[in-house]
Structure 1
Amino acid sequence: MAAGSGAAHGGLYLYRAAPAVQDSVLAAALLLPDLFLFSDFALPNVGAADRLITVGYAVLGYAALAARRRAPRAVFGYVWAHALGGELLTFAAVFDYSPTLALLAALYTVAALQSARSAVLALACVTVPVALSVRAALADVPAAERLTTLLGVACFYGLLNLEVWGVGRWVRAGRAAAARDGLALARAQEAILTERARTARELHDIVANAVTVMVLQAGGARHVLRTDPDRVEHALDQIESSGKTAVAELRHMLLVLRTDGERLAAEGAGFGLADLDPLVNGVRQAGLDARVEVTGVPAALPRSVDLTAYRLVQEALTNAAKHAGPGAATVVRLDWHRADGRLSIEVGDDGRGTPAAARSALSTGHGLLGLRERVAVCGGTFEAGPTEQGGFRVAATLPTEEHFRQEAAS
């Protein structure tokens, strides 16, 4: 049990080791098989000096494998020259050694890590030392057996190098596919997060704003419950209307979410600047002194921009009702710039209402952040902050369809 545990820890350590350490271990593991299979190292009639020379030359080639992943082509070139030198020294009778496994490792590395062009070039280069190895194998073969030996040795070396090269290319293709899958997964996760944020913004705009107006109207009705029944009845009508509108928006949003390929920002809930009058009337019933001012000639808006403009005014008016309070003078300004295809929206209050301290609990803290994100997605600009007069101002500039046509034309 202890021995198995030690082996497991050793394998884990090797797996986590630096690539140079792993490649050094690989070189050491290939060195002895290469000497025993492709040299005269193990023959009994070879002297100690010859064995030492063979081992020394082999180490010169295998030492380069420690850097095979850092510099695949350079290492292949070095190992190729080492293999070629071994064949030439064998012909010169210095020793009998045909370096093979190191060259296979270098060929695999180029095939697995480099481009198709580099891989094919490396495979072509391998044919030179392979041809010399085949020739060396035929040196002591009788003439009657040379053809058979030639075919056998050539097939052995040729298939061995082709298989190693093919495995390398297969590994490279697998890594590329895994990278593509990882990128696709990352994009899918990003799309999910984007859709989740979009859904959260829609829920905030639908629920938080409607509930805020309903709470404010209910609070106003409670104060005049015994003295002004007509006003109470009107407030209840407005609460009912706001609730029905919110439910209708939620139903539409859920329908869009169930439809594959559609986007909330593009589909929206069917609201736009054409629906400002009911919106402004609702906050007026909550006690806000609100009015709308329009300058310029209105232009067509993309659906997503139209919804963003509506949500901006809705959020700004709701904030004014919560924080400035009933009686605060609030102006919604729509300024159409036909020359550059832009719409400027500004919603500001004078801060002179009568807010109740409890109304701060109605704030979710995400409204302005959601507006900033909406406007940025549409390609507009956004700003919000207190005014010198003590009020609060929300402003944005949004592109119209004319703006997009001008950009396409340019």
Structure 2
Amino acid sequence: MSTLTRARCRLQAHPFAADAALAAAVLACMVAGSFVDPHGPDGVDWGLRSPDPLSLVLMTLGALALVFRRRAPRTVLALAGGVSVAESVTGDPRAPVAMCAVVALYTVASTTDRPTTWRIGLLTTTVLTGTAMAAGPLPWYAQENLAIFAWTGIGATAGDAVRSRRAFVQAIRERAERAERTREEEARRRVAEERLRIARDLHDVVAHHIALVNVQAGVAAHVMDKRPDQAKEALAHVREASRSALGELRATVGLLRQSGEPEAPTEPAPGLDRLDELAGTFRSAGLRVEVARADQGTDLPAAVDLAAYRVIQEALTNVQKHAGTDARAEVSVVRVGPHIEVTVLDDGSGENPQDDPDDPDAPEDAPGGGHGLLGMRERVTALRGTLTTGPRYGGGFRVHAILPVEPRTSAARDSGR
């Protein structure tokens, strides 16, 4: 830290002492100037003179007032202006008492707004200059009178410039702080969204595969003694489902790895191209699933493709858990204009409760009282789509999702054209 910076910090820490030092310096300048005669004898431009005792008293009073310039700037300006007016009327020869009024005017201009600076500056300049020209012992055109006009204008202008710079620096600082707060809030929001997305993925993976494992394990336990071949087949399905669950969990949890750790798996996220494989896993668990597609090979955005896959996966998982052993599920994927519609129907005779915890009609002790439908709704809503779920007339349950095929920005651009 330089010497100038340290001195500035000390002065800012002790403002009263700084003002006292400034007042002493102004007093010294005024006293020294009072010994100089700009109109020397015998035509000499400069000379020496003896200051008037009243002028010394007025200079001392004006300097003392400057000690309190930060606490009451307008009052100090009024006192310094009054002292300057008195010296202009009585001083002969003239002493530079107006210097204290210039410093006080600078203080007022640096601590108030520009319109107030204009009003007070014009008033001070007019009063001091007009009094010196009209009532002073010197001619009105004397250079001392013109100097009062110039110095008061300089004081007001300098104070306004300092105030403007302070306001500019403060605005930059506030803008930087606001940008920092906004950046932190945006980071927290993105972390929360990513955490919610990972939670949805984990729920979808675990709910689907664990449901299959549960069904196949029950089948294996039921036929272990009488039909060991069928039990082995069921256990093979359990092994396959658990392997798939571990693979998807590894891919999802890999997103949480820190820098420097082993690279996360790079397997692409599942989509509708794996719909037949998904239906096959449920068929192997004993659920009759029919798939109908009329999307004409639509190339979906990655987010929409994943959301459609997860909606079908969660809906079939709910059918597997709640619709009964004789249930039959129908899955349809249809392209309708700029949207793709995904529908999952079942005709199960068992209960298929909506496992949305926000639904007041959902039973509290329902075995599916989780976050499946809530996760589906969040996925679809995040993509500007719509999701409707509910019981079917005559029995069963219906899940219907409408997802946009094109990104929102592209659709808005096309509509604008």
What TM-score do the two structures reach when normalised by structure 2? 0.62
Instruction: Give 1:30 shift.
Output: 7.5
Matched, 1:351 2:345: no
Q: Which residue of 1 aligns with 2:74?
A: 34
Partner SS state of residue 296, structure 2: coil
Q: Which residue of 1 aligns with 2:176?
A: 177
Matched, 1:391 2:390: no
Q: Which residue of 2 aligns with 1:320?
A: 319
Evaluate the alpha carbon distance shift between residue 189 and residue 404 of structure 1 in structure 2; reply closer, same or farther with a 3 A threshold.
closer
Equivalences, count = 306
Matched, 1:252 2:251: yes
Distance 1:283 1:161 in 2: 79
Higher helix share: 1
Q: Which residue of 1 aligns with 2:126?
A: 132
Contact 1:288/1:321, CA 8 A, preserved across alignment = yes
Q: Which residue of 2 aligns with 1:167?
A: 166
| More divergent stretch after superposition (370-379 vs 315-324) | 370-379
Partner SS state of residue 385, structure 1: strand
Partner SS state of residue 217, structure 2: helix
Partner SS state of residue 271, structure 1: coil
Evaluate the alpha carbon distance shift between residue 99 and residue 247 of structure 1 in structure 2; reply closer, same or farther with a 3 A threshold.
same
Contact 2:109/2:160, CA 8 A, preserved across alignment = no
Instruction: Give 1:397 shift.
Output: 1.7
Distance 1:379 1:136 in 2: 74
Map 1:144-159 to 2 at 5 A.
145=144, 153-159=152-158
Distance 2:250 2:305 in 1: 20
Evaluate the alpha carbon distance shift between residue 146 and residue 280 of structure 1 in structure 2; reply closer, same or farther with a 3 A threshold.
same
Evaluate the alpha carbon distance shift between residue 363 and residue 155 of structure 1 in structure 2; reply closer, same or farther with a 3 A threshold.
same
Partner SS state of residue 293, structure 1: strand
Instruction: Give 1:217 shift.
Output: 1.5
Contact 1:288/1:326, CA 8 A, preserved across alignment = yes
Unaligned ranges ≥5, structure 1? 1-28, 47-97, 108-118, 261-266
| More divergent stretch after superposition (205-214 vs 158-167) | 158-167
| More divergent stretch after superposition (216-225 vs 130-139) | 130-139
Distance 1:141 1:205 in 2: 98
- In structure 1, what residue type is equivalent to 2:403? L
Q: Which residue of 1 aligns with 2:373?
A: 368
Distance 1:124 1:34 in 2: 14
- In structure 2, what residue type is equivalent to 1:194? E
Unaligned ranges ≥5, structure 2? 1-68, 87-103, 260-265, 353-364
Distance 1:222 1:133 in 2: 107
Map 1:45-64 to 2 at 5 A.
none
Map 1:181-196 to 2 at 5 A.
181-196=180-195
Evaluate the alpha carbon distance shift between residue 349 and residue 167 of structure 1 in structure 2; reply closer, same or farther with a 3 A threshold.
same
Contact 1:327/1:353, CA 8 A, preserved across alignment = no
Q: Provide Cα deviations, 1:242-301, integer angstroms capped at 9, x if missing partner.
A: 1111221122223445599xxxxxx99521112122211222222222221224633211
Q: Which residue of 2 aligns with 1:61?
A: none
Evaluate the alpha carbon distance shift between residue 135 and residue 198 of structure 1 in structure 2; reply closer, same or farther with a 3 A threshold.
farther
Matched, 1:204 2:223: no
Contact 1:36/1:42, CA 8 A, preserved across alignment = no
Evaluate the alpha carbon distance shift between residue 31 and residue 159 of structure 1 in structure 2; reply closer, same or farther with a 3 A threshold.
same
| More divergent stretch after superposition (34-43 vs 214-223) | 34-43
Evaluate the alpha carbon distance shift between residue 40 and residue 404 of structure 1 in structure 2; reply closer, same or farther with a 3 A threshold.
closer
Instruction: Give 1:37 shift.
Output: 3.9
Aligned-residue CA RMSD (Å): 3.8
Contact 1:34/1:100, CA 8 A, preserved across alignment = no
Instruction: Give 1:323 shift.
Output: 0.7
Contact 1:249/1:269, CA 8 A, preserved across alignment = no
Between the two structures, name the one with larger relative contact order (CA 8 Å, sep ≥ 6): 1
Evaluate the alpha carbon distance shift between residue 296 and residue 158 of structure 1 in structure 2; reply closer, same or farther with a 3 A threshold.
closer
Instruction: Give 1:364 shift.
Output: 5.4
Distance 1:368 1:198 in 2: 14
Name the larger-Rg structure.
2
Instruction: Give 1:348 shift.
Output: 1.1
Map 1:267-346 to 2 at 5 A.
269-295=268-294, 297-337=296-336, 340-346=337-343
Q: Which residue of 1 aligns with 2:59?
A: none
Q: Which residue of 1 aligns with 2:216?
A: 217
Evaluate the alpha carbon distance shift between residue 123 and residue 308 of structure 1 in structure 2; reply closer, same or farther with a 3 A threshold.
farther
- In structure 1, what residue type is equivalent to 2:160? N
